[in-house]
Structures are given as C-alpha cells and as structure tokens.
C-alpha cells in the first residue's frame, strides 16, 4: 500500500477539513475501508459520523463537527442555522442543537446524529468564513428563527442582527418571503416590531406593555436633538407631546463602570435639555406591569406640568 494511504494527518489533510475526512475520499487515495476500521478500533482515529472519520481518538472540536457535517452532506453543502450565526460573530440561540446543513433538493441524504439536513430548491452560493462554506447571513438568520417556537428567542436573534447593523429588516423580509413558509408567522410578527423601532427583547416587552395599557402614543428609538442640532440621545421610547423619555435599563448594557458612566451622561444631557426621563428595569416589564404603567403615568403628568422642550425628533428609519 502506498505510504500516503495510511490514515494519518497528511492523508486526511489532502482530502479533508480540519483533520476530518470522508471515508470515500480516503479510499480514493488507495486506503482500504478495513484499514480505516482497524485504526478506528485501535483508537488511532475516531468515527465522527457515518462515513466520516477524524485523526486521533479525542472528541471532535467545533470546527471538526462542522467539517464532518459538511463532508457527510456531500459536495455543494452549506452550513446554516445557529452554528452559521456563531461563525458570523452572532449568538447561536441553541448551542447544543443539531448543525443545520443545506443541500440540493435532488441529493438523497437524511439527517443523522448531530446533523440536520434540509433539502432545498434554493441552495445558496456559499460564503467562505474561516474555511467553511456558510449560507449567506440573511439565509442563516431565517433558517434559525423558522425553527424557534418562543417569541423572545426569535426577538433575540432578529434584534441582534439588526441592532448590530449586519442587515436590515427589508432584506430579512425578502429572504423570509422567498423560502419555505413553514415557521414564518412568528418571525414575520417580530419583523413588524423591529420595523416599528424595537431593537431588543426588553424593548419588545416594553412595547407589549405599552400596547396593553392606556398610555399615550410613543415613538420607539427616535434620535433626539436640540434645535441647534446638538445630539442628545437615542431614547428607547419617547412621548413627544410632553417631552418624556423612557429608558429600559438592561443589566447587559451596564456591566462596567464605563457603561454606567455613559448612561449617567446620557441622562444628564436629556435632563439639561428639559426632558423628563423615566427608567425601568427589564424584569419589571414582565413581573410588575401595573406598577410600571402607574409610574409612567406619574412621570407623564410631571412632564405635562412643565413647558414641553423644543426638541427635534428623528424617528427610527
């Protein structure tokens, strides 16, 4: 047998990814399947998926699991879903879940172990990220949220990608409309929220609370300026008729002293311009709804009793 036919890093590297290779590719080098099986049984290699092996007996890394999933799926496969989001630098909402791999509709391949196969007539052109072919960002996002059944989980995924400026609501709507409509009702409702200006799960809770209350109309995430063009802040919510800003003080945005200092400076700018600023912790939006509404009415009456400041308001686009 040729020396290169041994199941070693050199052989695997010539046909695989991240130290993982398809058995069919290794046999094409002249290696017998029995040799591969013996080395797996001896602990010199490990079977990751049916027809896919890796060098060494240790647990596969995240890169190796992803590579194995793609090799198992076959040529042209692309990684999508939460694992693709993680590789785009976003949050995977189900880190312990299966890896979603998209393949052409004609490919006869079924899900197995930690791999979920989705056959599609719209197999996207891959985007190379870290040496692996990923679905385009919008496709990966929609693939992810179509599989989530909790509104807040869908909100978290969609709000993060929009808030970070990685894509737009309009582009996500196009992708949502183009594919399978299974599981799209909830994402469509959350995109409506984002289009109205909501940019986080906590703000979505605030929107729900406001909708179910008798509070006056509010603008979500408008940018506030003085009449001379000085930027004040982008308020979480704003009651324009009285000059009341409503801030949702999420702990995630106040983890450091610098974060807290920035919040205090932001509050001081708004108050110096004549605005009344109300603050609410996210958990109270779910657990103390009546109290929050009562407090907002109190702040609203306070603002209404003062001259409304001359503020230029730019609604979220």
Confidence tier at 5 by pLDDT (50, 70, 90): very low
- How far apart, in whole angstroms, are the C-alpha atoms of residue 162 and residue 164? 5
What global pTM score does this model have? Answer: 0.76
Taking residues 178-186, what's their average pLDDT? 92
* Band of residue 254 on the pLDDT scale cut at 50, 70, 90: very low
Report yes or no: 280 and 202 within 8 Å, Cβ to Cβ: no
Beta bridge partners of 245: 238, 277
77-87: pLDDT as tens digits: 999 999 999 99
What per-residue confidence (pLDDT) applies to 256? 53
Contact 207, 282 (CB under 8 A): no
Q: What percent of the chain has pLDDT over 90?
A: 73
Fold of 202-314: Endonuclease; Chain A (3.40.960)
| Residue 238 banded pLDDT, cuts 50, 70, 90 | very high
Question: Is the pLDDT score of 289 beyond 50?
Answer: yes
Q: Which residue ranges make up each domain of the chain? A: 3-58, 65-195, 202-314
Can you tell me the mean pLDDT for 269-277? 96
Residues 6+ apart with CB under 8 A from 158: 141, 145, 172, 187, 190, 191, 194
Q: Could you report the per-residue pLDDT of 41-92, keeping only the tens digit for each? A: 888 889 999 999 998 899 999 999 999 999 999 999 999 999 999 999 999 9
Summary mean pLDDT of the chain: 90
Given pLDDT bands bounded at 50, 70 and 90, which one contains residue 2?
very low
Of 201 and 142, more confident: 142
Measured in degrees and rounded to the nearest 5, phi and psi for residue 19 equal: 75, 20
């Amino acid at each position: 047998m040729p020396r290169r036919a041994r199941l070693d890093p050199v052989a695997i590297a010539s046909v695989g990814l991240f130290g993982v290779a398809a058995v069919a590719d290794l046999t094409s080098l002249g290696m017998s399947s029995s040799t591969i099986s013996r080395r797996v049984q001896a602990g010199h290699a490990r079977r990751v998926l049916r027809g896919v092996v890796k060098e060494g007996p240790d647990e596969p890394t995240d890169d190796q699991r992803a590579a194995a999933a793609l090799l198992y799926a076959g040529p042209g496969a692309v990684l999508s879903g939460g694992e693709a989001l993680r590789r785009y630098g976003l949050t995977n909402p189900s880190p312990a879940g299966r890896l979603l791999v998209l393949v052409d509709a004609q490919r006869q391949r079924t899900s197995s172990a930690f791999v979920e196969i989705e056959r599609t007539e719209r197999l996207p052109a891959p985007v190379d990220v870290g040496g692996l072919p990923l679905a385009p960002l919008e496709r990966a996002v929609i693939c992810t949220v179509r599989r989530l059944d909790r509104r807040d989980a869908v909100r978290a995924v969609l709000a993060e990608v929009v808030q970070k400026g990685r894509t737009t609501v309009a582009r996500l709507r196009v992708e949502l409309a183009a594919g399978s409509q299974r599981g799209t009702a909830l994402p469509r409702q959350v995109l409506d929220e984002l289009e109205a200006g909501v940019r986080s799960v906590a703000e979505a809770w605030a929107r729900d609370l406001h909708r179910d209350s008798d509070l006056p109309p509010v603008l979500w995430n408008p940018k506030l300026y003085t009449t001379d063009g000085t930027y004040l802040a982008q308020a979480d919510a704003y009651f324009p008729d009285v000059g009341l800003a409503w801030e949702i003080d999420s702990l995630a945005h106040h983890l450091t002293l610098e974060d807290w200092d920035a919040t205090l400076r932001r509050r001081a700018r708004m108050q110096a311009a004549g605005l009344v600023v109300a603050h609410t912790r996210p958990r109270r939006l779910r657990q103390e709804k009546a109290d929050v509404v009562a407090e907002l009415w109190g702040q609203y009456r306070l603002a209404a009793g003062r001259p409304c400041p001359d503020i230029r308001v730019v609604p979220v686009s």
